[in-house]
Chains A and B, each alone.
Chain A
Amino acid sequence: MKPLNLIALLFFLGSAVWAFTLSDRGVREMQDLYFSAMSPFLKSGSKLETQARAFMNETRHSKSLEKELAAFQGEMGRLRVIESRFRDLERENLQLRHALDFKKATHFDVVAAQVIRRQPTTWWQTIDIDAGQERGVGTQLAVLSNEGLVGKIDRIYTGQNRSSVLLLTDEKCQVSARVEGSPEVGILCGQRAFDENPLLKLKFLSTEAALRKGQRVFTTGRGGTFQANILLGTVESVEKGVLDSEALVRPSVNFANLGTVFVVLSADP
């Protein structure tokens, strides 16, 4: 090997070792630098993707959208009736609280955001949303949709009013979960394989877990990231092992069709 090539190879290996030994903070700083340099292109890229998706959806589903609109209008009417009933109950609840001098303060603050980019990397299940630091969003906050838990904030793009959400379908997103109507608790996470309809894995259940298909799975509120009682999905099947059991869970959220999501800024546990 030529001496120049050998020197270049040694430099290359040395630089690779330096990159490997960067601390988490160092990596985040590098990423901040990278994304601030890419900021104008990220915005244009997301805009283009959103427009393309909207165009495709419009051309492909115009008839089905009409049907959906009619169904939504019906559903909205039904929900209005429920809402008025809910307001009555809320008022009644407030009066009873006053009567009992019940001092528990309920606090649930969310920020609505639009999905502006889907799956920007090859292997990780993430989306980008148009809410960032400016609107009070920080890392590790829970993200919900009207169907249930979507994931958690993984990265904030500094100064760009956007952030990246690690989806519940990613293997790295772990949630402490319980099964409704049973004492079973476990850790729910995504699976490695990509699929059109991904199933989640509920691990560390007891060996005699008596679960049936259709039972709902909720967050326990333990572990420090997700609030309690957020719907995660429904049990699809259970596989019993020697040491523990595992269940496959169908997520309640349709991840292929995410539009508006809500970031939970603060909430009572």
Chain B
Amino acid sequence: MIRYSLITILLLLASFVLQQFLPAFTAVHHSRILFVQLVFLCAAVTVELPTMLLLAFIGGFFWDAHCALGPHTGDPDIYTQPVESLRFGYSILLFGAMGFLMQGIQPLFKQGKWQFSALLSGISIFLYLMAEYAIITFVRGEFSISRSTLRQMAFTSLLTMLFSPLIFWLLFSIAKICNHSIHPEAGKKRHRPH
């Protein structure tokens, strides 16, 4: 189990590398494949709570390091109302919240029904983007959401979700190599004598 947990952490770190090669699809409403979030969500359903929280911290921390903008500068007499940005570290909590959501359907996953988790990963990414947008709106005031923003979120979730079977396959393979069963009840059913 420890070996499996360590490999999932390495997999999450490797996903940051892969993310560098995935640009935004300007033709598809500026949507993108959020590979880091996807790896985290898929891994979150296969591990225990402490490992999930560790993954959430690593994922959120490095995601913010990847995205955070610099502080606002300029003469405060001219720029009297600087636009607030999100505080570094907010993604840690968002990753944690998404992880709890995935852990909620762990019983289904343990029965071997990984398809539900794949579907939920798409929904979680949509909720994650919505929450992120809502926080930006809350910090900056004046709520506004356009159709193009909604489309961007929907297509990002959909595109990302399409890759979840691949990640689950990778996780199952890793679990097999580590002699660790990530859905034990399905295994029990298969080995039950008739």
Contact = CB atoms under 8 A, between A and B. Distances in A.
A255 B68 CA distance: 21
A226 to B, nearest CB: 9
A223 B81 CA distance: 13
Contacts of A22: 88-89
A154 B152 CA distance: 24
A19 B148 contact: no
Contact of B23 (A11, A117, A192, A195): A117
Given A11-B53, A176-B78, A189-B83, A118 B16 contact: no
Nearest to A187: B79
Given A118-B26, A119-B24, A222-B75, A124 B69 contact: yes
B142 to A, nearest CB: 8
Given A16-B96, A118-B24, A172-B85, A193 B140 contact: no
Interface stretch (B2-10, B58-66, B169-177): B58-66
B78 A222 contact: yes
Contact of B136 (A4, A139, A192): A192
A180 interface: no
B146 A16 contact: no
Given A174-B82, A194-B148, A223-B78, A24 B20 contact: no
A9 interface: yes
Interface in A2-24: 2, 4-5, 7-9, 11-12, 15-16, 19-20, 22, 24
B50 A5 contact: yes
Nearest to A9: B53
A223 B75 contact: yes
B166 interface: no
A140 B88 contact: no
A124 B70 contact: no
Contact of A154 (B23, B48, B70, B140): B70
A224 B77 CA distance: 10
B143 to A, nearest CB: 10
A85 B140 CA distance: 49
Contact of B57 (A15, A52, A118): A15
Contacts of A12: 53-54, 56-57, 92, 96
A81 interface: no
A228 B147 CA distance: 36
Contact of A121 (B62, B67, B75): B67
B88 A27 contact: yes
Interface string B23-61: 110100110101000000000000011100110110011
A105 interface: no
Contacts of B133: 123
B72 A172 contact: yes
A38 interface: yes
Interface of A: 2, 4-5, 7-9, 11-12, 15-16, 19-20, 22, 24, 27-28, 30-31, 33-35, 38, 41-42, 44-45, 48-49, 52, 117-124, 126, 139-140, 154-155, 166, 171-172, 174, 176, 187, 189, 192-195, 222-225, 256
Interface of B: 16-17, 20-21, 23-24, 26, 29-30, 32, 34, 48-50, 53-54, 56-57, 60-62, 64-75, 78-79, 81-83, 85, 87-90, 92-93, 96, 129, 132-133, 136-137, 140, 144-146, 148-149, 152, 156
7 contacts: A24-B70, A35-B65, A49-B23, A120-B66, A140-B73, A155-B70, A172-B85
The list of the 3 closest CB pairs from A to B, nearest first, reads: A19-B89, A8-B50, A45-B20
Given A5-B50, A35-B65, A166-B70, 10 more contacts: A12-B56, A27-B68, A38-B20, A41-B20, A52-B23, A172-B85, A174-B79, A195-B148, A223-B79, A224-B74
